[in-house]
């Protein structure tokens, strides 16, 4: 048989389904199967046994047990601090104890064949109900009724003949003849309704001010039509998040501008490192790291089917630590367009006159935040792209969320294309007590934190697809 030592001894490009880390139903249960945490805990216990001074005598001569295996005494300087905190004092995540995250939600990502649209559903059951409701929407019994908004904007379903008789008598009543994605009855309940419609603007990579992605969230309660004949393409959705990307030498910055309907507006900054497969951001005083992002300085980019969201260890540096205002440099292009040649020369001479970085401020107060110049990750002298360097992987806590491509967990993939195809799923933990009174399969049961984390994972999935030309 033909055997290659180079291939047999190297790491595989893709992990099998059994090799992937399996998310448990409750977050705290993952500690029993997360190998980085278990190995450090085992090492700490071995060091504790050695410190007790275990002895074994042979022919009356006492011998230290660590002399039997000298490798056991090789202590990692990060082990004591990291594992001691992990065993006795679990960190909080987004202001909650890890024991509170006792429910796992699987958010389904679906692609539409004809319109090339991407939808995000709160569960697989919701996606199945969506397909069923799409068929019912076209049935004859649905065509014989219409939605009417009365003078108080209450939604009423009546027959078409009643609507024709009602229209000339009530000026404040508006008949809704818009085409809804699912029947309004189910939309109001939040059953079978997508969470998001993901929009990727055309040629966004070459348009400076165009967003990288746009996440439009579906409204459970439709807004009243402006007029009976009004045709609004986005009447069902509103902009939940716009993503803007900007490239720098060692990293790329993603600005997530969230505009939720029932929460304050905020902007979240994530920084994708160019030489290691990770991206960092801070959300609700919790430092997160997304593992599996593409390397930006390679000739051949391999598409990795998984993204993991982890909580950083206390001693690990982050690109999102201590952000500062970016140094302002003169814009030579604008000078060429609006100034004379002498002014252009003066502009060239003033390139070295940079504005010094401001002291560290919260990212919410900065207009153009970037990592500090003395950030340990930015100062890393080894700039060779390395995907197999595992020093950036957190050891204290198992992954809190992840995105996985559908070809990893779907066993029987159909060769013929379907109108709606599942392309992946996002698994993320949430507090079941926050939505205990709601149906877990509806859109109402998904918290804002889970929406935010899912948005970031899907944005970096899009970045991977563009780099891999997939």
In this predicted structure, the answer to whether residue 412 has a pLDDT above a threshold of 80 is no
Confidence of residue 407 (pLDDT cuts 50, 70, 90): confident
Distance from C-alpha of 428 to C-alpha of 23, rounded to nearest angstrom: 9
The predicted structure's pLDDT at residue 323: 92
List 174's β-bridge partners, or say none: 149
Least confident window among 104-118, 365-379, 405-419, 453-467: 405-419
Give residue 248's Cα distance to chain centre.
21
Q: Half-sphere exposure (CA, 13 Å, Cβ side) for 438?
A: 16
Distance from C-alpha of 54 to C-alpha of 66, rounded to nearest angstrom: 9
Distance from C-alpha of 420 to C-alpha of 128, rounded to nearest angstrom: 10
| Average pLDDT estimate for 17-31 | 75
The answer to whether 400 and 309 are in contact (CB under 8 A) is: yes
Confidence of residue 37 (pLDDT cuts 50, 70, 90): confident
| Average pLDDT estimate for 144-164 | 69
In this predicted structure, the answer to whether residue 43 has a pLDDT above a threshold of 80 is no
Question: DSSP secondary-structure letter at 166?
Answer: H
DSSP 336-366: HHHS-HHHHHHHHHGGG-PPPPPPP--GGG-
* Torsion angles phi and psi, residue 466, rounded to 5: -70, -40
Question: DSSP secondary-structure letter at 21?
Answer: P
In this predicted structure, the answer to whether residue 430 has a pLDDT above a threshold of 80 is yes
Per the prediction, the chain carries an average pLDDT of: 76
Least confident window among 10-19, 112-121, 124-133, 381-390: 10-19
Better pLDDT: 210 or 452: 452
Residue-wise pLDDT for 134-148, tens only, equals 887 766 455 667 777
The predicted structure's pLDDT at residue 108: 96
Distance from C-alpha of 437 to C-alpha of 353, rounded to nearest angstrom: 60
In this predicted structure, the answer to whether residue 55 has a pLDDT above a threshold of 80 is no
Which tokens belong to 451?
């929406």
Question: DSSP secondary-structure letter at 156?
Answer: E
User: By C-alpha distance, which of 248, 205, 305, 272 is closest to 456?
Assistant: 272
Distance from C-alpha of 292 to C-alpha of 273, rounded to nearest angstrom: 11
């Amino acid at each position: 048989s033909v055997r290659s030592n180079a291939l047999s001894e190297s790491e595989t490009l893709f992990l099998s389904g059994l090799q992937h880390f399996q998310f448990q139903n409750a977050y705290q249960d993952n500690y029993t199967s997360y190998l980085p945490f278990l190995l450090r805990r085992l090492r700490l216990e071995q060091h504790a046994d050695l410190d007790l001074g275990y002895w074994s005598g042979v022919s009356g001569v006492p011998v230290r047990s660590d002399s039997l295996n000298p490798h056991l005494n090789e202590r990692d300087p990060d082990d004591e601090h990291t594992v001691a905190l992990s065993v006795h004092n679990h960190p909080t995540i987004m202001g909650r104890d890890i024991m509170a995250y006792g429910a796992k939600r699987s958010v389904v990502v679906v692609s539409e064949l004809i319109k090339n649209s991407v939808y995000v559903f709160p569960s697989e059951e919701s996606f199945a109900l969506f397909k069923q409701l799409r068929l019912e929407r076209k049935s004859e019994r649905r065509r014989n009724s219409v939605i009417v908004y009365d003078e108080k904007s209450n939604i009423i379903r009546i027959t078409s003949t009643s609507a024709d008789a009602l229209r000339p008598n009530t000026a404040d009543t508006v008949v809704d003849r818009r085409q809804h994605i699912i029947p309004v009855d189910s939309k109001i309940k939040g059953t079978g309704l997508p969470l998001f419609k993901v929009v990727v603007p055309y040629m966004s990579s070459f348009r400076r001010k165009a967003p990288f992605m746009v996440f439009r969230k579906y409204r459970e309660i439709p807004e009243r039509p402006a007029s009976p004949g009004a045709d609004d393409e986005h009447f069902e959705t509103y902009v939940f998040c716009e993503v803007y990307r900007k490239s720098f030498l060692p990293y790329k910055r993603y600005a997530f501008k969230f505009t939720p309907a029932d929460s304050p507006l905020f902007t979240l900054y994530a920084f994708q490192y160019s030489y290691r497969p990770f991206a960092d951001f801070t959300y609700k005083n919790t430092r997160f790291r997304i593992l599996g992002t593409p390397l930006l300085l390679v000739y051949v980019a391999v598409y990795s089917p998984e993204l993991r969201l982890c909580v950083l260890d206390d001693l690990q540096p982050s690109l999102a630590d201590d952000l500062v205002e970016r140094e302002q440099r003169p814009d030579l292009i604008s000078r060429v367009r609006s100034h004379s040649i002498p002014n252009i020369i003066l502009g060239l001479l003033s390139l070295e006159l940079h504005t010094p970085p401001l002291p560290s401020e919260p990212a919410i107060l900065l207009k153009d935040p970037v990592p500090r110049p003395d950030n340990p990750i930015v100062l890393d002298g080894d700039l060779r792209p390395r995907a197999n360097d595992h020093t950036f992987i957190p050891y204290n806590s198992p992954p809190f969320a992840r995105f996985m491509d559908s070809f990893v967990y779907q066993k029987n993939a159909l060769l013929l294309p379907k109108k709606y195809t599942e392309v992946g799923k996002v698994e993320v933990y949430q507090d079941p007590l926050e939505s205990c009174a709601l149906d877990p399969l509806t859109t109402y049961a998904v918290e804002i934190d889970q929406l935010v984390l899912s948005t970031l994972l899907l944005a970096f999935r899009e970045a991977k697809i563009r780099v891999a030309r997939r």
